[in-house]
Amino acid sequence: QVSGHVPSLRSWLSLQLCGACDTGVQRLTNLMESMAVSTSAAGAEESDRNVPRICGVCGDKATGFHFNAMTCEGCKGFFRRSMKRKANFTCPFSGNCKITKDNRRHCQACRLKRCVDIGMMKEFILTDEEVQRKKDLIQKRKVEEAQREAQRPRLSEEQNQLIATLVEAHHKTYDESYSDFSRFRPPVRQGPVTRSASRAASLHSLSDTSSDSFSHSPESTDMKLMNFSSIMMMYQEQSSSPESSEEGSSHLSMLPHLADLVSYSIQKVIGFAKMIPGFRELTAEDQIALLKSSAIEVIMLRSNQSFSLEDMSWSCGSPDYKYCVNDITKAGHTLELLEPLIRFQVGLKKLNLHEEEHVLLMAICLLSPDRPGVQDHARVESLQDRLSETLQAYIRVNHPGGRLLYAKMIQKLADLRSLNEEHSKQYRSLSFQPEHSTQLTPLVLEVFGSEVS
Ligand SMILES: [Zn+2]
Ligand SMILES: [Zn+2]
């Protein structure tokens, strides 16, 4: 039996391949010839058995189809290497060595011939490598995607909770139906009839130009100046009207209604503040100090929700509760406050803040550690820092193109400080006149009052 010779082949071959023994070569060749016949017959039988997992080249255990034929890993690698090197082997024997698992390394020429005979094709090497390359590429993309996913900024559970709390607090304290407004003392838009009419007309044209200028070229200084001068003209027209017109211009017809509106808004701001995590843990004194100094700023911020760029006014439901600049002048405020206030409202509106950003900005405004009268600076600051970090993280994650948004929002807080200052000035002069201060509510008097808790 041929198989009986196989174990000795290895030792024979090692002698032969080093070329040490000529007689060995001859004997080996004879042996191999006789074996080749018997195994090719066996190979034919095997291939009938529905693709056995046996290498078609050497008979070793096959690992699958490689380059179009069932082979072992060894013969797969051999075929690939040979093709790549464009190797040109020569059989040292008679050119038809029988290749087995044990001798397959000994005659490359016949091993390669066998490879081709059983159908291995170099075209499949390219295909397989292409497949591998694609697999690698897919894998690489998966890894990159996973890395991106891992690096993507995220909001922590705590930050998400904070935002949810603030949004809920805002919903509970800001009624978009404005149905409570009917309980305020009613708005009275009377005034010297002719002047009122002309003012309304000029305001109307002002609204048109300003909405245009703001929406098309917000940075245009010319347009701003034009707006400003038209507002100033209106204002001068108004203030030049003699104090002596019938009822006297000291009668501020919108004051009762707007005082009630502001008083109501202060209550809502207090309600909102109390729901900001950490606020109620502050001392009562610090809570009061924060509220007293920020209330008007938060009111200005939250009023942006009803502010409309189309007509530069605050629309709170019915036409009765639609407030334009002129209405507010009838509550004692001058354009030194109203002009920058309108500009502020326009700028804020144009930031197109998400509700989450809007509520965070209000909370950040409320928890400013540098307000007069604040004792526990560090504590307020750490609460504000947490809010600021959450806002920045929110913008990074959820506001595409919001690279500069945080800075713009912080600028709005600076604008609010000067608006606050101007408001205080105007409030003081108003409250010094008893006929006006009696129109205010106790809450307004307390919150806007100058005495520091
Ligand atoms: Zn093999
Ligand atoms: Zn050979």
Q: Which pairs from 61-66 meet CB under 8 Å and 24+ separation?
A: 66/120, 66/124, 66/128
Residue 6 Cα to ligand 2 midpoint, Å, equals 16
Instruction: Report the separation in Å between the CA atom of 70 and the middle of ligand 2, taken as the mean of its atom positions.
Output: 21
Please state the CATH superfamily assignment of the domain spanning residues 5-148 in this structure: Erythroid Transcription Factor GATA-1, subunit A (3.30.50.10)
d(CA 290, CA 371): 6
Nearest to 408 by CA among 218, 270, 273, 271: 218
Please state which of the four CATH numbers 3.40.50.300, 1.10.565.10, 1.10.3720.10, 1.10.3210.10 is assigned to the domain occupying 157-449. Answer: 1.10.565.10
Distance CA 210, CA 343 (A): 10
**19 CA distance to ligand 1 middle (Å):** 25
Distance from residue 108's CA to the centre of ligand 2 (Å): 7
What is the structure's pLDDT at 190? 75
CA dist 410 → 329, 351, 395, 415 (Å):
28, 12, 13, 9
pLDDT category at 86 given cuts 50, 70, 90 is: confident
What would the pLDDT profile of 318-356 be if each residue is shown by its tens digit?
999 999 999 999 999 999 999 999 999 999 999 999 999
| Mean per-residue pLDDT, 247-267 | 86
pLDDT tens-digit profile of 287-312? 999 999 999 999 999 999 999 999 99
Calculate mean pLDDT across residues 213-223.
39
At 276, is the pLDDT very low, low, confident or very high (cuts 50, 70, 90)? very high
The pLDDT, as a whole number, for residue 35 is: 41
Residue type, 230: S
pLDDT given for residue 148 in this prediction? 86
For residue 263, count other CB atoms closer than 10 A to its CB: 18
In the predicted structure, residue 360 carries a pLDDT above the cut 60: yes
Distance 93 CA to ligand 2 centre (A): 5
Backbone angles phi, psi at 33, to 5 degrees: -60, -45
Confidence of residue 196 (pLDDT cuts 50, 70, 90): very low
Helices H, strands E: what count in the chain? Answer: 17, 5
pLDDT at 165 over 70: yes
Burial class from Cβ neighbours inside 10 Å (0-12, 13-18, 19+) for residue 228 reads: middle
Amino acid 211: pLDDT: 38
Per-residue pLDDT at 187 exceeds 70:
yes
- Quote the ligand 2 centre to 65 CA distance (angstroms): 24
The predicted pLDDT at position 250 comes to: 60
pLDDT band at 172 (very low <50, low <70, confident <90, very high): very high
**Does pLDDT of 362 surpass 70?**
yes
Q: Which ligand is nearest to the CA of 66?
A: 1
Percent of the chain with pLDDT over 90: 65
Mean pLDDT of 229-255: 53
Residues in the chain: 453
Query: Which ligand is closest to the CA of 101, given by its number?
Result: 1
Ligand 1 centre to CA of 84 (Å) is 18
Q: Is the separation of the CB atoms in 415 and 429 below 8 Å?
A: no
Q: How far is the CA of 73 from the centre of ligand 1 (A)?
A: 7
Average pLDDT, the chain: 81
CA of 22 to the centre of ligand 1 (A): 28
Domain positions in the chain are 5-148, 157-449
Per-residue pLDDT band for 127 (boundaries 50, 70, 90) equals: low
- Percent of all residues in the chain with a pLDDT value above 70, rounded to a whole number: 74
Distance 348 CA to ligand 1 centre (A): 75
Question: Can you give 226-290 as a three-state secondary structure string?
Answer: HHHHHHHHHHHHHHHCCCCCCCCCCCCCCHHHHHHHHHHHHHHHHHHHHCCCCHHHCCHHHHHHH
Q: Which residue bears the tokens 């909370």?
A: 363
Query: Which one of 30-34, 198-202, 394-398 scores highest in mean pLDDT?
Result: 394-398
401 pLDDT more than 50: yes
**Average of pLDDT values for 135-159?**
90
Report how far residue 211's alpha carbon sits from residue 218's, in angstroms, rounded to the nearest whole number.
Answer: 10
User: Among 227, 225, 232, 237, which Cα is nearest to 197's?
Assistant: 237
pLDDT of amino acid 206: 42
For the cut 90, the answer to whether the pLDDT of residue 118 exceeds it is: yes
Q: What is the DSSP letter of 440?
A: S
Most trustworthy range by pLDDT among 146-150, 216-220, 320-324:
320-324
Measured CA to CA, the distance from residue 274 to residue 308 in angstroms comes to: 29
Task: Compute φ and ψ for 313, nearest 5 degrees.
Answer: -140, 170
The tokens describing 59, both together, are: 């008979």
Q: What is the pLDDT of residue 44?
A: 40
User: What per-residue confidence (pLDDT) applies to 241?
Assistant: 42
- Residue spans of alpha helices (H) in 152-220: 157-173, 193-216
Judged by average pLDDT, the poorest of 36-45, 56-65, 66-75 is 36-45
Contact 432, 450 (CB under 8 A): no
More confident residue, 335 or 44: 335
Ligand 2 centroid vs 402 CA: distance in angstroms?
Answer: 72
Nearest to 187 by CA among 255, 246, 251: 255
Ligand nearest the Cα atom of residue 96: 2
**pTM, rounded to two decimals:** 0.61
Digit-coded pLDDT (tens) for 423-432: 999 999 999 9
Contact 75, 110 (CB under 8 A): no
User: Rounded to the nearest whole angstrom, what is the distance from the C-alpha of residue 76 to the centroid of ligand 1?
Assistant: 7
Ligand 2 centre to CA of 107 (Å) is 5
Cα 110 to ligand 2 centroid, rounded to whole Å: 4
- Which range among 109-113, 139-143, 231-235, 258-262 shows the weakest confidence by mean pLDDT? 231-235
d(CA 120, CA 115): 6
Distance CA 448, CA 332 (A): 15
What is the CA(433)–ligand 2 centre distance, in A?
Answer: 118
